[in-house]
């Protein structure tokens, strides 16, 4: 079968191999195609039966122009770039990678938190800029430094990633509160399940690890921030749409939020008018929690398995029934 990778660069900028896919069919790889609706998408799919995508959108119109299409393999857990319900009507299966970045994403969330607590990058840069060698004291710090031992971390979304972060937080001496729609015994061994009101009220640090749904879109907003402790730290490397960015920026600038670190924003790439860009004590990184080589290799391996299973007529990780 013909296999077309439409936007492979972020998954494999050259440090991995497409060999696993090459063994399964006639493979064509494009680094990038389009991140918005574009006739080029259908043109490049052509008569391929299988396509592999990351963020290239696959719409009803595109599927109608590609009658040979049988499988859409997504190089990610999220699949909202695909009109998967219409794909089901067309008999096109959509497969995702259900888990690959548990440790890398939880590790990155902790890294964002530690950066907020110590401003390591900033202080390192001041040394290279000459501030230490010209300082009258033997040390200095430009921001308050925060010790996490004894503080409370509230984790919204306590699945695999949230629980992994909870274990790290406990190892640092933190109390862990958790909110999740589906509490589990494994979660209870790590933290205490509470309602959102309690989590907002008692947490010194709030981190987000929930899926994006219509119900939780914009859940961190003016009203929910008002229920939080003064000076709370907010971490988001889940989905940018979980927070109302203007409300978070306002809370940072007023001092209600003590700091915010995000790896995701509402619109990506970030727009120059994003209010977080001008907010106080805000760290923004370019959606790279998922990107360690080890994590991307797991994505590649699972995608190969998804396509092989489809070819064997035993499809796995199908998200559209």
Rounded to the nearest angstrom, the gap between the alpha carbon of residue 222 and the centroid of all alpha carbons in its chain is 23
Question: What whole-number distance in Å separates Cα of residue 89 and Cα of residue 205?
Answer: 44
285 pLDDT more than 90:
yes
Compute how many other C-beta atoms are within 10 angstroms of the C-beta atom of residue 261: 24
Question: What whole-number distance in Å separates Cα of residue 179 and Cα of residue 157?
Answer: 6
Residue 215 designated active-site:
no
Percent over 70 (pLDDT), the chain: 100
5 pLDDT more than 90:
yes
pLDDT in tens, 194-231: 999 999 999 999 999 998 999 999 999 999 999 999 99
User: How are strands ordered across the β-sheet holding 26-29?
Assistant: 26-29, 2-5, 50-53, 71-74, 93-95
pLDDT in tens, 82-117: 999 999 999 999 999 999 999 999 999 999 999 999
- In degrees, rounded to 5, the angle at the alpha carbon of residue 57 between the alpha carbons of residues 107 and 216 is 50
Residue 28 pLDDT class (50, 70, 90 cuts): very high
Which superfamily does 2-100+293-311 belong to?
NAD(P)-binding Rossmann-like Domain (3.40.50.720)
pLDDT in tens, 113-128: 999 999 999 999 999 9
Residue 239 designated active-site:
yes
Catalytic residue among 37, 268, 271, 294: 268
- Can you tell me whether residue 79 is helix, strand or coil? coil
pLDDT in tens, 146-162: 999 999 999 999 999 99
> What local confidence, expressed as pLDDT, does residue 100 receive?
95
The mean pLDDT of 293-301, rounded to a whole number, is 98
Rounded to the nearest angstrom, the gap between the alpha carbon of residue 156 and the centroid of all alpha carbons in its chain is 14
Catalytic residue among 239, 245, 296, 317: 239
Catalytic residue among 123, 175, 280, 287: 287
The long-range contacts involving 162-166, CB below 8 angstroms and separated by at least 24 positions, are: 162/106, 162/187, 162/207, 162/209, 162/210, 163/187, 163/190, 163/191, 164/102, 164/103, 164/106, 165/106, 165/109, 165/110, 165/207, 165/209, 166/190, 166/191
The mean pLDDT of 267-294, rounded to a whole number, is 97
> What local confidence, expressed as pLDDT, does residue 81 receive?
95
Reported pTM? 0.93
> What local confidence, expressed as pLDDT, does residue 130 receive?
97
Question: What whole-number distance in Å separates Cα of residue 301 and Cα of residue 305?
Answer: 6
What dotted CATH number matches 102-284?
A: 3.40.50.720
Compute how many other C-beta atoms are within 10 angstroms of the C-beta atom of residue 185: 6
Where do you find CATH 3.40.50.720 in the chain?
2-100+293-311, 102-284
How many residues belong to the chain?
A: 321
The mean pLDDT of 276-295, rounded to a whole number, is 98
pLDDT mean across residues, the chain: 97
Percent over 90 (pLDDT), the chain: 98
Q: Which helix (H) or strand (E) holds 73?
A: strand 71-74
321 pLDDT more than 90:
no
Compute how many other C-beta atoms are within 10 angstroms of the C-beta atom of residue 306: 25
Token pair in block for residue 74: 């997504």
């Amino acid at each position: 079968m013909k296999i077309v990778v439409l936007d492979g660069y972020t998954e494999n900028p050259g440090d991995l191999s497409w060999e696993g896919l090459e063994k399964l069919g006639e493979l064509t790889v494009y680094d990038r195609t389009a991140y918005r609706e574009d006739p080029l998408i259908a043109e490049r799919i052509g008569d391929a039966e299988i396509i592999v995508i990351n963020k290239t959108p696959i719409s009803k119109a595109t599927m109608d122009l590609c009658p040979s299409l049988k499988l859409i393999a997504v190089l990610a857990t999220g699949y909202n770039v695909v009109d998967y319900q219409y794909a089901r009507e067309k008999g096109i299966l959509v497969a995702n990678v259900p888990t690959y970045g548990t440790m890398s994403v939880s590790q990155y969330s902790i890294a964002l938190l530690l950066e907020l607590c110590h401003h390591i990058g900033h202080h390192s840069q001041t040394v290279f800029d000459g501030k230490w060698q010209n300082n009258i004291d033997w040390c200095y710090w430009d921001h308050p430094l925060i010790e996490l031992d004894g503080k409370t971390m509230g984790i919204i979304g306590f699945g695999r990633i949230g629980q992994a972060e909870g274990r790290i937080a406990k190892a640092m001496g933190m109390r862990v509160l958790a909110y999740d729609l589906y509490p589990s015994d494994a979660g209870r061994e790590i933290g205490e399940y509470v309602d959102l009101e309690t989590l907002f009220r008692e947490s010194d640090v709030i981190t987000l690890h929930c899926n994006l749904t219509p119900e939780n879109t914009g859940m961190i907003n003016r009203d929910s921030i008002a229920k939080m402790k003064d000076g709370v730290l907010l971490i988001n490397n889940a989905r940018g749409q979980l927070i109302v960015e203007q409300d978070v920026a306002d809370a940072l600038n007023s001092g209600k939020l003590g700091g915010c670190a995000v790896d995701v924003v509402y619109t990506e790439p970030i727009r120059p008018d994003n209010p977080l860009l001008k907010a106080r004590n805000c760290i923004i990184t370019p959606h790279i929690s998922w990107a360690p080589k080890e994590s991307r290799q797991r994505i590649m391996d699972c995608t190969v398995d998804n396509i092989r299973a489809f070819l064997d007529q035993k499809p796995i990780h199908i998200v559209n029934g």
